Amino acid sequence: MTHIVSMVNKKGVMERVIDVTTARRQLGTLLDEVFYKGDIITIERKGKPLAKIIAFEETDSQLSSEQHELLEELHSLPTISTDQNPTTILRNIRVQKRIKAKVNYAK
């Protein structure tokens, strides 16, 4: 396989840059390396990086800690139970405001 550049990044992950022709020819092998070894592969054409192949499960780690925290809270915040439909409650509040506004205008 033609590697233009090959190096181990700060996280100990092998990162390689390959050209489009190699990527096209060896896509299956590249996908295996990305999926099973965790390699990261950049594909370039005429010296210009076009795309990066990264294991699907690693895409989540691209999220910031704030995003992780917000997602975690979104799925874990205890909900509040009610017998009433909150959309109806909100609708009634809005209607009441409209009635009050009408009354005030009539005065």
Partner 1 sequence: MQNDRFVLDANVFLEYIFDRELQENAKQILQDAILKKIQLLVPSLLLDEITEVLSGNLDNLEAVKNHLKYIEKLAKQGVLQIIVPNTEVRMKAIEIARTGNAKSGYPDLTDSLYHALAILNDAVFITNDLKHIRKVKKFSHIKELSKYENISEKP
Q: Which residues bind partner 1 (CB under 8 A)?
A: 63, 66-67, 70-71, 73-75, 77-82, 85-87, 89-91, 93-95, 97-98, 101
Distance separating alpha carbons of residues 39 and 30, to the nearest angstrom:
9
Nearer to partner 1, 20 or 70 (CB): 70
What's the closest the beta carbon of residue 81 comes to partner 1, in angstroms? Answer: 7
| Residue entry with tokens 């700060």 | 10
Nearer to partner 1, 9 or 76 (CB): 76
Nearest alpha-carbon partner for 22 in 5, 42, 41, 2: 2
What's the closest the beta carbon of residue 18 comes to partner 1, in angstroms? Answer: 28
Handedness of CA 74, 75, 79, 85 (dihedral sign): positive
Nearer to partner 1, 79 or 104 (CB): 79
Reported residue count of the chain is 107
